[in-house]
Structure 1
Amino acid sequence: MTQHTDVVVIGGGQSGLAAGYHLRRLGLDFVVLDAQATPGGAWQHTWDSLRLFSPAAYSSLPGRLMPPQADETYPDAAHVVAYLTDYEQRYDLPVHRPVRVTGVHRDGELLRVESDAGTWQARAVVSATGTWSRPFLPAVPGRTEFRGRQLHTVEYRGPKDFTGERVVVVGGGNSGAQIAADLAYDADLTWVTLREPRYLADDIDGRALFDHASARRRALDEGRTANGGVASLGDIVAVPPVRAARDAGFLKAQPMFDRITPTGVTWADGMTAEADAIIWCTGFRPALAHLAPLGVRGPRGHIPTDGTRAVAEPRLHLLGYGDWTGPASATLIGVGRPAREAARAIADLLR
């Protein structure tokens, strides 16, 4: 049986909910198809000690401030899951789950969205599937030879699983720093980064980063000289656990190793580190396989966009994958504006 609607939003995490909020305000008929069994998006699968980079008031979706978490300046992942669950219910967003979309196809004047729960025909589609389901592992010589445990950020839960073990954490971004800080007290830690860790000033949090990214986008849109973007400020937000481990001298990074051996890692100068586990905090790639039937990818797999709209398919909008779909659009505070712009563009298209 095929169902019909104006818009199908694929993904029920923070980006999909923000899109739903604005589509509802514009009076459009839509559904949100979410592959997760419960609300909360990727936040329900993160490690136990993860903290937001901003206070709750600056980590909110449109229309509803995130309430503060008791005794915590920077909320944890469980608080975010509770907030997203409440948000979905408060605005009575039509989320169907668990529904895994297998492909989006052109079907005359409509787009056909096929899934393991049936088929929808829509006049427009918002893809908001994020990146969490596509962890990236670099090709490092010897990686398949290692006899210990290897896991990615998505599989890490907490330090209790590594008490007393020798652990190599790879990655100089926020995830690498937070997980390294998490392990520093209970494991024999080796933290490895491509370059010397660059901490943002201790008083900079996610709100300042969003403002910086927005200022850069405005300058570029107006033809003015832009700032260097968020990357120019540093790579690591010094949330309290990271700051504490750094100031205690536990976060001393080593340069990237050259090879993995069956029992650890080695550097070109002969230095070695034995390891029971390697944790790869090496980022993600956009989860876009469901869009393959549309043939909208350009060189190197990138989908060219004009704002959030796919250049090769004006009925398709991409939301929440990073700066290429809106300044800071992969963050709670940043996704609201591109979600509003996408909903307005879809409303104009449907008229």
Structure 2
Amino acid sequence: MSTTDSSVVVIGGGQAGLATAQVARSLGLDPLVLEAADRTAGSWPHYYDSLTLFSPARRSALPGMAFPGDPDGYPTRDEVIAYLHHYAAHLDADIRTGHRVHQVTAHADGFEIVTSQGAAFTAPLVISATGEFSRPHRPALPGLDDFTGTVLHSSDYRSPHPFAGRRVLIVGGGNSAVQIGIELAGHARVTLATRHPLRFMPQRILGRDIHLWTQRTGLDTATWARPLLTGGKGTPVMDTGTYRAAFASGNPDRRPLFTRLHADQVEWDDGTREKIDVVLLATGYRPTLAHLGALAGLDDQGWPRHRRGISTVQPGLGYVGLEWQRSFASATLRGVGADARYVLTRLRRQTRSLDRTRPAAAER
């Protein structure tokens, strides 16, 4: 098995990996990108057909290339896929598709990266940019395992047509849950079940998109602001007013999270029961990091141990594309570039410091 050397290996060729490769080039590094799929579009081809970004095109670009079209428009899924393909085609980096990383091993001078196809690579730095959208999270909801209807994750949803005339229960209250729920309501009877009331936030303030204000005010990266922006009282849903109006119509509607599921029924918190055909889990994802093994140092929730994208377990290892890695935007198109620059800059300093503390080869 031959081995190829590189200054940094980037695992994953989606938005996080491509942004990392571009930043690496700007820092004078020679990145090698390893992507398991046969194309560089990450998880985007697997999302539902009508998905639309909740950040405008001008704030959804990766480093070095503007997003085409109306800068104040909100790109669709297919427009994002086309953009990522174009970005990769014009990226001055070695991108190898069809290379699924099987194992990363740490050595004294760096890492060895072995793919499932038997190829091997070495590098002093490794960035895991697989994001967190390839492993759907299925929470342990009471009675879910015994539910006799259809159980889907939002990652399985493509269009509303297969659900015509059915009673659909969506678990979750984020942007995807709301978008899917409103689309389904044109074909089915839909309820969103959430632990907290839906939190609609204005998409535009004083005529400018809210993402401009979160960046300019520092809310994006303010640790204290995280409970305001995610979790706590529910995930904020960016809304121009159309989402709120749709829920005011009564279909879809929102109810507190149910008590439990019974066969083909849901029991609500007031004790009433209702027949349900489909439970759709819009409950997020977890990172896929099996290739790192013990190097990831996963916590009890399956998240890698890191500080702002820098591994606290293994020197030379970093992450790009994790939710709230450094900011509200970390897992989005507009956030991965800044995170990649932060991580790469600090990892280079870290490894240089380690080099100064290692004994010379003759002294070993």
Considering the TM-score relative to the shorter chain, is it more than 0.5? yes
8 Å CA contact 2:200, 2:244 repeated in 1 = no
In the superposition, relative to structure 1, how do residues 15 and 270 fare at CA in structure 2: closer, same or farther (>3 Å)? Answer: same
Tell me, yes or no, if structure 1 residue 76 matches structure 2 residue 80.
Answer: no
8 Å CA contact 1:100, 1:116 repeated in 2 = yes
Secondary structure at the counterpart of residue 239 of structure 2: coil
Residue of structure 2 equivalent to 1:31:
32
Report the Cα distance in structure 2 between the residues aligned to 1:170 and 1:327, rounded to whole angstroms: 22
Report the Cα distance in structure 1 between the residues aligned to 2:135 and 2:234, rounded to whole angstroms: 27
Aligned-residue RMSD, C-alpha: 2.5
Report the Cα distance in structure 1 between the residues aligned to 2:84 and 2:217, rounded to whole angstroms: 24
Shift of residue 209, structure 1, vs aligned partner: 6.8
Shift of residue 293, structure 1, vs aligned partner: 3.5
Residue of structure 2 equivalent to 1:94:
94
Q: How many residues align?
A: 345
Residue of structure 2 equivalent to 1:211:
215
In the superposition, relative to structure 1, how do residues 216 and 158 fare at CA in structure 2: closer, same or farther (>3 Å)? Answer: closer
Shift of residue 315, structure 1, vs aligned partner: 0.5
Residue of structure 2 equivalent to 1:67:
68
Equivalences for residues 224-239 of structure 1 within 5 A? 229-231=228-230, 235-238=236-239
Residue of structure 1 equivalent to 2:274:
273
In the superposition, relative to structure 1, how do residues 143 and 226 fare at CA in structure 2: closer, same or farther (>3 Å)? Answer: closer
1:303-350 deviation digits (Å, cap 9, x = unpaired): 332332212222001111022345521111111111112222344456
The AA in structure 2 aligned to 1:120 is F
Instruction: Give structure 1 regions of 4+ aligned residues with deviation exceeding 6 angstroms.
Output: none
Residue of structure 2 equivalent to 1:129:
130
Residue of structure 2 equivalent to 1:260:
261
Tell me, yes or no, if structure 1 residue 58 matches structure 2 residue 62.
Answer: no
Task: Give the stretch that moved more between structures: 294-303 or 153-162.
Answer: 294-303
Secondary structure at the counterpart of residue 202 of structure 2: coil
8 Å CA contact 2:30, 2:93 repeated in 1 = no
Residue of structure 1 equivalent to 2:105:
105
Report the Cα distance in structure 2 between the residues aligned to 1:135 and 1:310, rounded to whole angstroms: 23
The AA in structure 1 aligned to 2:109 is E
Report the Cα distance in structure 1 between the residues aligned to 2:83 and 2:175, rounded to whole angstroms: 22
Report the Cα distance in structure 1 between the residues aligned to 2:126 and 2:317, rounded to whole angstroms: 5
Report the Cα distance in structure 1 between the residues aligned to 2:41 and 2:6, rounded to whole angstroms: 24
1:186-245 deviation digits (Å, cap 9, x = unpaired): 111122111111111242656247527844636x6xxxx768542389621115763552
TM-score, normalised with respect to structure 2 = 0.86
Shift of residue 130, structure 1, vs aligned partner: 0.9
**Structure 1 gaps, min length 5:** none
1:6-33 deviation digits (Å, cap 9, x = unpaired): 1110011111111000111122122111
Task: Give the stretch that moved more between structures: 203-212 or 280-289.
Answer: 203-212
